[in-house]
């Protein structure tokens, strides 16, 4: 449909509405207008589909329970700016806003519409988003924003510099933090100020072929994908992307799964569901999965899948800081936050990026009443000059503060190594942890026996000229150190558990700690060192 014919159609409907003398007639005209809005421009819609993208309404209808989308402000038009905008009849101003249901629970939504003015954000566009953001906070519902916009519309920025800004969106993101779950689905370009607003959410989803985010203007000779690609930049390097997906269908399905695990707001607990998985289930495979030799790696993802309900684990930031695994799952039908060192990546050492990954995840779970479980197997923080120079101490402070201020139930299972500062990241009973149990393969301390001997008795051993005698003395010292560590092992945990019973043990512990309460000193907010 040409622009002219479209304008003619709108004018015809306007006249028909005014001429209608009864309710039925006016309703008929309004329905025709609604259909015209929802159909959109056929060529623009086709262009999106050719790019492998869905329209805003198609995305929302796939995310929400069937037929539950209640759209608001769909008749709003862009402000007259005095400049040509190309689509004078662009109802909705490039964004669909409203509310619906996911798993029969209310959710507030907005979705930028790439088929209307390219999805550019104008004054009305941003005011619509601000309106539903405010409603979400007041109604205490999760909010999902779908981003697909090249940025602020130049005409609005020039004509209305005081009104087009994303400042208000950023304020709402801040006010909603820790109050309602916030999810950003970046399913196209997300540029400039909008990129920061999107990244202020609790979770950022991105799609391989269509998503990119960047703040600064694109340098000459490059594209937005070059500096802000979903896979090459944000999933693996910056850590901005929490959930990386291959296509839009997967992105929407993953968001659906996440919402099912979360509470509506910070005053509620996540829903308790019957997963059909036996709470007393034993896993014989766990007896052989972890090598006794602490230098040998194993599959921590496999270990997690054997413990949680039905093997389902919603991993967060899977491709960033892979030495630490974080994600959500259920135990006995209860949502839990799981953190685990990954022996297959840098031996499970804690790094600067892993510290940031841990602290943010712990704080989210604590804000929304999600119990925390740590699976510990770490030789401490990575001893590397580069890490120290980049600010390992500063980021390590964030780990300690996040772990210490958490008031939800906190349980640590030490699988093998728990050396040095790694014990602060995987806290056990430290920092007010509730429960610390271990497998028989547990190894506590600042380091292993050989490492401790090298530090404590290094000078003594070097002074022995005869090599055979020196080796014999070193062997003797290591044996003595191992005996001391054996006593430490017995005293460092509250109990040893059969690996096969880990699932049942954790479920019982969470039932015991389910109503845990801890009152923190009153304050305005934390002064987080990051």
pLDDT digits (tens, 9 = 90+) for 48-72: 899 989 999 999 999 999 999 999 9
Residue 283: is its pLDDT beyond 90?
yes
Mean pLDDT of 297-321: 98
Q: How far apart are CA 147 and CA 109, in angstroms?
A: 11
Q: What is the pLDDT of residue 213?
A: 96
User: Measured between alpha carbons, how far is 440 from 462 in angstroms, rounded to an integer?
Assistant: 35
Q: Which two tokens stand for residue 277?
A: 């998985």
**Among the ranges given (112-116, 149-153, 247-251, 408-412), the one the predictor scored with the smallest mean pLDDT:** 149-153
Give me the architecture of the 286-442+493-512 domain, per CATH. Alpha-Beta Complex (3.90)
Can you state the angle between helices 248-261 and 56-63, rounded to 10 degrees?
40
- The 3-class secondary structure across 40-74, one letter per residue, is CCHHHHHHHHHCCCCCHHHHHHHHCCCCCCEEECC
Write out the DSSP string of 291-318.
-SSTTS---HHHHHHHHSGGG-EEEEST
Please tell me the predicted confidence (pLDDT) of residue 515. 85
Average pLDDT over residues 406-431: 87
Domain with CATH 3.90.226.10 in the chain: 42-261, 286-442+493-512
Confidence band of 2 (pLDDT split at 50, 70, 90): very low
* CA 439 and chain centroid, separation: 30
Per-residue pLDDT tens digits for 479-499: 888 877 777 777 788 999 999
State the angle between helix axes of 23-39 and 3-19 in degrees (0 to 180), rounded to the nearest 10.
160
DSSP letter string over 312-378?
-EEEESTTSSTTEEEEEEEETTEEEEEEEE-TTTGGG-B-HHHHHHHHHHHHHHHHTT--EEEEEEE
Could you tell me which residues come within 8 angstroms of residue 157 by beta carbon, excluding any fewer than 6 positions away? 164
> 276 or 81: whose pLDDT is higher?
276
Note whether 339 and 324 are within 8 A (CB). Answer: yes
Nearest to 146 by CA among 179, 99, 103, 113: 113
| pLDDT for the residue numbered 114 | 86
What's the token pair of residue 434?
């509730």
> Please, are residues 132 and 110 in contact by the beta-carbon 8 Å criterion?
yes
**445 pLDDT above the threshold of 90:** no
Comparison of pLDDT for 370 and 154, the residue scoring more:
370
Q: Look up residue 245 and give its two tokens.
A: 């997906």
Higher pLDDT among residues 487 and 306, named by residue: 306
Considering the chain, what percentage of its residues have pLDDT values greater than 70? Answer: 93
Mean pLDDT score, 446-474: 86
The model's pLDDT over 185-214, given as tens digits with 9 standing for 90+, comes to 999 999 988 899 999 999 999 999 999 999
pTM for the predicted model, two decimal places: 0.90
Q: Which two tokens stand for residue 207?
A: 């799609």
Cα distance from N-terminal residue to C-terminal residue, the chain: 53
What would you measure as the largest C-alpha separation in the chain, in angstroms? 111
Contact 375, 339 (CB under 8 A): yes
**Which pLDDT score, from 0 to 100, does residue 4 have?**
47
| Phi, psi values for residue 190, rounded to 5° | -145, 100
Burial of 405 (0-12, 13-18, 19+ CB in 10 A): middle
Comparing CA positions, the residue from 75, 63, 62 lying closest to residue 33 is 75
Average pLDDT of the segment spanning 162-177: 78
pLDDT the model gives residue 1: 41
Q: What is the C-alpha separation between 492 and 445, in angstroms, rounded?
A: 9
Q: How much is the average pLDDT of 281-294?
A: 95
What pLDDT shows up at residue 80?
A: 65
Residue with tokens 């930049």: 233
Which fold would CATH assign to domain 42-261? 2-enoyl-CoA Hydratase; Chain A, domain 1 (3.90.226)
Tell me how far CA of residue 341 lies from CA of 285, 360, 380, 388, in angstroms. 19, 16, 10, 20
Handedness of CA 192, 193, 197, 200 (dihedral sign): positive
Residue 182 to residue 263: CA distance in whole angstroms:
11
Cα separation, 64 vs 98, in Å, equals: 11
| Interatomic CA distance for residues 77 and 125, integer angstroms | 9
Q: How far is CA 168 from CA 81, 162, 179, 194, 372, in A?
A: 21, 11, 17, 12, 33
Distance between CA atoms of residues 369 and 5, nearest Å: 55
- What is the rounded distance in angstroms from the CA atom of residue 270 to the CA atom of residue 273? 9
Residues 427/359, Cβ–Cβ less than 8 Å: no
Task: Say whether pLDDT at 440 is over 90.
Answer: yes
Q: By percentage, how much of the chain surpasses pLDDT 90?
A: 58
d(Cα 370, Cα 530) in Å, to the nearest integer? 24
Tokens, residue 190:
């997300």
pLDDT value of residue 85 = 55
Q: Which residue has the higher pLDDT, 166 or 77?
A: 77
pLDDT confidence of residue 300: 98
- Residue 159's pLDDT band, with cuts at 50, 70 and 90, is low
CA distance 281 to 501: 8
Mean pLDDT of 13-37: 81
Task: Give the residue from 103, 110, 116 showing the smallest Cα distance to 37.
Answer: 116
Cα gap 181→368, rounded to integer Å: 8
Q: In this predicted structure, what is the pLDDT of residue 229?
A: 96
What's residue 161's pLDDT? 57
């Amino acid at each position: 449909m040409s622009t002219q014919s479209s304008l003619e159609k709108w004018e015809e409907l306007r006249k028909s509405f005014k001429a209608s003398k009864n309710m039925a007639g006016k309703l008929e005209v309004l329905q025709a207008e609604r259909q015209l809005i929802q159909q959109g421009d056929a060529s623009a819609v086709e262009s999106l589909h050719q790019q492998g993208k869905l329209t805003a309404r198609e995305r929302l209808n796939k995310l929400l329970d069937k037929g539950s989308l209640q759209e608001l402000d769909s008749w709003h038009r862009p402000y007259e700016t005095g400049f040509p905008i190309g689509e004078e009849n662009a109802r909705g101003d490039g964004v669909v806003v409203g509310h619906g249901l996911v798993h029969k629970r209310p959710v507030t939504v907005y979705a930028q519409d790439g088929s209307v003015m390219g999805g550019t954000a104008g004054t009305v566009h941003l005011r619509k988003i601000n309106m539903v953001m405010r409603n979400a906070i007041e109604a205490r519902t999760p909010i999902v924003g779908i981003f697909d916009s090249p940025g602020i519309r130049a005409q609005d920025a020039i004509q209305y510099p005081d009104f087009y800004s994303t400042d208000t969106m950023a304020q709402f993101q801040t006010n909603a933090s820790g109050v309602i779950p916030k999810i950003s689905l970046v399913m196209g370009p997300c540029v400039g100020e909008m990129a920061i607003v999107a990244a202020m959410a609790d979770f950022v989803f991105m799609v391989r072929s269509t998503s990119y985010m960047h703040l600064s203007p694109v340098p000459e000779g490059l594209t937005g994908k070059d500096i802000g690609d979903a896979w090459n930049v944000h999933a693996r390097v910056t850590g901005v992307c929490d959930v990386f997906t291959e296509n839009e269908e997967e992105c929407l399905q993953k968001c659906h799964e996440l919402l099912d695990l979360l509470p509506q707001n910070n005053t509620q607990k996540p829903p308790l569901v019957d997963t059909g998985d036996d709470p007393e289930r034993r896993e014989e495979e766990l007896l052989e999965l972890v090598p006794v030799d602490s230098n040998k790696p194993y599959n921590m993802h496999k270990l997690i899948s054997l413990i949680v309900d039905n093997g389902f684990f919603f991993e967060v930031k899977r491709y960033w800081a892979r030495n630490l695994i974080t994600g959500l799952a259920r135990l006995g039908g209860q949502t839990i936050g799981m953190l685990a060192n990954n022996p297959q990546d840098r031996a499970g050492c804690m790094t600067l990026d892993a510290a940031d990954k841990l602290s943010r995840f712990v704080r989210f779970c604590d804000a929304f009443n999600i119990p925390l479980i740590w699976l510990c197997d770490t030789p401490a923080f990575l001893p590397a000059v580069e890490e120290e120079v980049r600010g390992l101490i500063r980021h390590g402070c964030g780990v300690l503060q996040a772990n210490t201020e958490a008031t939800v139930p906190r349980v640590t299972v030490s699988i093998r190594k728990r050396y040095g500062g790694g014990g602060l990241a995987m806290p056990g009973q430290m920092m007010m942890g509730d429960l610390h149990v271990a497998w028989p393969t547990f190894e506590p301390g600042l380091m292993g026996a050989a490492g401790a001997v090298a530090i404590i008795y290094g000078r003594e051993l070097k002074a022995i000229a005869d090599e055979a005698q020196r080796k014999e003395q070193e062997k003797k010292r290591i044996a003595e150190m191992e005996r001391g560590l054996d006593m430490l092992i017995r005293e460092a945990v509250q109990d040893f558990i059969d690996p096969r019973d880990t699932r049942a043990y954790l479920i019982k512990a969470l039932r015991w700690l389910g109503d845990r309460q801890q009152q923190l000193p009153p304050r305005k907010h934390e002064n987080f060192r990051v």
